[in-house]
Structure 1
Amino acid sequence: MGILSWRGLACMAGLLALPAWAQTPMRFVTEPFPPYTFAIDGRPAGPMVEVLQAACARLAWSCSIEVLPWRRALNMAQRGEVEGIFTVVDSPERRQYFHVSPPVIEGRYVLFARLGSSYQYAGDPQTLAGRVIGAYGPSATALTLEQLIEGVPRARSEVEPDNRTVVRKLAAGRYGEDGLALANEAVAQHLMREDGVRNLQPAGLVKAFGYSFGLTRQSVDLAQAQALAKTLYELCRSGRTAELLKPYGLPASACVKP
């Protein structure tokens, strides 16, 4: 038997040794969410995309990624029409539908006010009484805001279809003289630079968190979810995750051992 035949047999043996799901195409959906995820000439890009691609390569998964409006992406993932979705924040609501991976990128939910406002959030939700607060949803941001103002008298949320709308409406005073917005700090700052918005300022940190990948429970089993978690941990421990995030100026989450 020739050398090539032996190599062919060895390759076949390696494939047979892999779990059946390792050879299954893994379809992921995400949203236009710069600086974390976006599309360049129709192709998915951004730090979360690069980390997922690195993980898929190590796992020998055949992964595809499609950038869609968030509501459509979320509905597809919740119905089990795709295998995964990102970015997600670990929460009871997300765990109903997804195996949530360890966090990959650190993020911060920050309240923003109009320039010149004296308001500063220092951890007491009652200081939000009587204010209108904009947020993007359905999203973890909107869920965080609802939890924040629960029981706060006359505080009201306005959920918008995207972060750009939130930034523009706050800048235009559409939430009132004392209006605020809750947003991911990096996303809001990116939009402000892109749109030339200069009359907004941070007004206090509400929550620090991490962005993760979600694998739909309908079509992905626990073994696959554990394999992704283990691979993300290895990428983090090796420094590869931080290396991928460095060009974007975003901090990696702490390495979470599965």
Structure 2
Amino acid sequence: MTTIRTIIVLTLFFVLTSSLLAKPIVFGTQEFPPFSQTKSGKVVGPGVDVIAAVMKRAGLDYKIKSGVWKWIQKSAKDKNGDVSALFFIGKNAAREKWLNFSPPILETTYGFFAKKSSRIKYSNDVPLVNSSIGVYGPSNTSKNLAKIRKKPGNDFKTELYKDSVTVFRVLGRGSNLKFAFSNGDVGRAIIKDEGLDNLQYVGTFKKLNYYFGFSKMKIDAATTKKIMDAYKSLIADGSIARILAGYNMTPAAK
């Protein structure tokens, strides 16, 4: 009888311990409209909707945390930080060292915005000279602008700002900025939300995909596989494309 009682107690202990250890995956993001933003105290947007679908199919619990991007990334990198996944992000070599990336989720652009009155159009074939260009940074966006600056013939001044909204406000009020360099979807959303009707998109530098990134240190291989399989399944059956269509966004090519 004592042996049976011991087995029952140990079984209950391991079940309870396992449930306590199975912590929800915390997805970190920032105020990044139209991809993610806080409304009435709740984070909303296509990224949130995709996460909900993926985690439901994977059968995993999750939470979403929004904050200053610098600290969200720090929490994801720190072994004691609560964030274990990031969205939406671009892929680069530095991030690939510590993150497992989802399949590409959506297609967007990096490009230039200018005042309508300037009648400027941007082309990758025309050098950028005698210009001041505003960009949010340090960020993946500012890194891409730095690459443009290194191209032969380009000679412009880069002005970094604390966020993308500030870049567009400064450009819109008639500063010395000639362009704002930004994600195309983000820039259009800011123009709409801020009522900056005197600004417009004037040309694309390049197309790119956005992803979800998962900490290699914090999420084990079996859980990562379960999540990736869920992404692939939802892409294959068109679920993610339907979510993005509701936001007038383009799914990444399969």
Same fold (TM over 0.5): yes
TM-score normalised by length of structure 2: 0.85
Provide the secondary structure at the position in 2 that maps to 1:130. strand
Percentage of pairs with the same residue: 28
Structure 2 gap ranges (5+): 1-10
Offset, 1:116: 2.3
Provide the secondary structure at the position in 2 that maps to 1:111. strand
Q: 1:215 to 1:158 in 2, by over 3 A?
A: same
Provide the secondary structure at the position in 1 that maps to 2:127. helix
Aligned to 1:234: 233
Aligned to 1:75: 74
Q: Determine the C-alpha separation between the residues in 2 that align with 1:228 and 1:131.
A: 45
Aligned to 1:143: 143
Q: Could you tell me whether the CA contact under 8 Å between 1:29 and 1:73 is conserved in 2?
A: yes
Q: 1:223 to 1:90 in 2, by over 3 A?
A: farther
**How big is each residue's C-alpha offset from its partner over 1:6-62, in whole Å with a ceiling of 9 and x where there is no partner?**
xxxxxx9xxx9xx99x94421111111111111222122111111011111111111
How many pairs are equivalent? 235
Q: Determine the C-alpha separation between the residues in 2 that align with 1:234 and 1:137.
A: 35
Q: 1:58 to 1:207 in 2, by over 3 A?
A: same
Q: Determine the C-alpha separation between the residues in 1 that align with 2:67 and 2:43.
A: 10
Q: 1:130 to 1:208 in 2, by over 3 A?
A: same
Q: 1:83 to 1:203 in 2, by over 3 A?
A: same
Structure 1 gap ranges (5+): 1-11
Aligned to 2:7: none
Aligned to 2:86: 85
Provide the secondary structure at the position in 2 that maps to 1:242. helix
Aligned to 1:60: 59
Q: Determine the C-alpha separation between the residues in 1 that align with 2:98 and 2:253.
A: 24
Aligned to 2:49: 50
Offset, 1:153: 4.9
Q: 1:117 to 1:225 in 2, by over 3 A?
A: farther
Q: 1:204 to 1:41 in 2, by over 3 A?
A: same
Aligned to 1:3: none
Offset, 1:251: 1.4
Q: 1:129 to 1:229 in 2, by over 3 A?
A: farther
Q: Determine the C-alpha separation between the residues in 1 that align with 2:201 and 2:192.
A: 14
Q: Determine the C-alpha separation between the residues in 2 that align with 1:202 and 1:40.
A: 26
**How big is each residue's C-alpha offset from its partner over 1:128-175, in whole Å with a ceiling of 9 and x where there is no partner?**
123211111232211111111125553221121111001111112323
Q: Indicate yes or no: 2:107 matched with 1:94.
A: no
AA partner of residue 114 (structure 1): K
Q: 1:41 to 1:60 in 2, by over 3 A?
A: same
RMSD of aligned residue pairs (Cα, Å): 2.3
Q: Determine the C-alpha separation between the residues in 2 that align with 1:23 and 1:168.
A: 44
Query: Which shows bigger deviation, 204-213 or 88-97?
Result: 88-97
Q: Could you tell me whether the CA contact under 8 Å between 2:137 and 2:161 is conserved in 1?
A: yes
**Rg larger for:** 2
Q: Determine the C-alpha separation between the residues in 2 that align with 1:174 and 1:69.
A: 26
Q: Determine the C-alpha separation between the residues in 2 that align with 1:129 and 1:247.
A: 39
Q: Could you tell me whether the CA contact under 8 Å between 1:134 and 1:175 is conserved in 2?
A: no
Provide the secondary structure at the position in 2 that maps to 1:52. helix
Aligned to 2:129: 129
Q: Could you tell me whether the CA contact under 8 Å between 2:127 and 2:154 is conserved in 1?
A: no
Provide the secondary structure at the position in 1 that maps to 2:147. helix
